[in-house]
Amino acid sequence: MAAPGAGMMEGGVPTAQPPGTDMTGICFRDQLWLNSYPLDRNLVFDYFALSPFYDWTSNNEQLRMRSLHPLDLSQLSKMTGTEYVLSEVMEPHLFIMRKQKRDSPDKVTPMLAYYILDGSIYQAPQLSNVFAARIGRALYYIQKAFTTAASKLEKIGYAGSVDSENDTTLPEPKAASKETVDIKELKRVDHILASLQHKLPPAPPPPPFPEGYVPPSTAETEKGPETQEATESQAPSVDPIIDQGPAKRMKF
């Protein structure tokens, strides 16, 4: 907060801020003046002239030196240069002072705006700065959300493949296959199938052989190849695979 009398050099000579100076971070308040005078539309300009926001080279200061009211539009419209006008008033809490450049009685260009809120004077930020601040804040939260989502997805992927990291790498597929196989995805599928297999109950014992079927003895298997071929050429009376059903066949 600026002290009373800010913007003044030694000897009481006023100092003007360089053009383009960002003063949005400055707040001016003179409590001694507020305790001595009422803050209304007639005296608000005198209070604003004490702040470092005031330009002592403005047309309003020339009117004050001529003992005229500094906000007299009939006099300001006859001049050219920098001037201050009171645009909005909500006594005694809010006053909005606009700084503008007058080129002719009908042509003015707004430059800056200041508002006096309950005795404290602030410089209103420009619209481009407001948009830049809001966009920067939105981008910060969007980046934070993507970072959080990426960390959670990374944890999920790590939990799914933690058991398969110690496995040996599978051999690369042959060049004959046109579709590429993702090794990590293949390991993950194997891990899921293995976990499901552990959750399932054990397989029931195989059923007994059907009636009339005699399994080959060990002596027959030890015979020569010619005897085995003759035995294989004779079809058994009952097909054990068909009688056992497709659900009882050996799985490879």
The mean pLDDT values, 10 residues at a time, for the chain of 252 residues are: 42 50 87 94 94 94 93 92 94 93 92 94 88 88 83 66 53 53 71 76 71 61 53 51 50 46
Query: Is this structure's pTM higher than 0.85?
Result: no
Single out the residue of 51, 41, 47 nearest to residue 72, CA to CA. Answer: 41
In this structure, are residues 114 and 122 in contact, taking their beta carbons and an 8 Å threshold? yes
Residue 82 structure tokens: 């920098």
Instruction: Calculate the alpha carbon distances from 217 to 229, 234, 240 in Å.
Output: 15, 16, 16
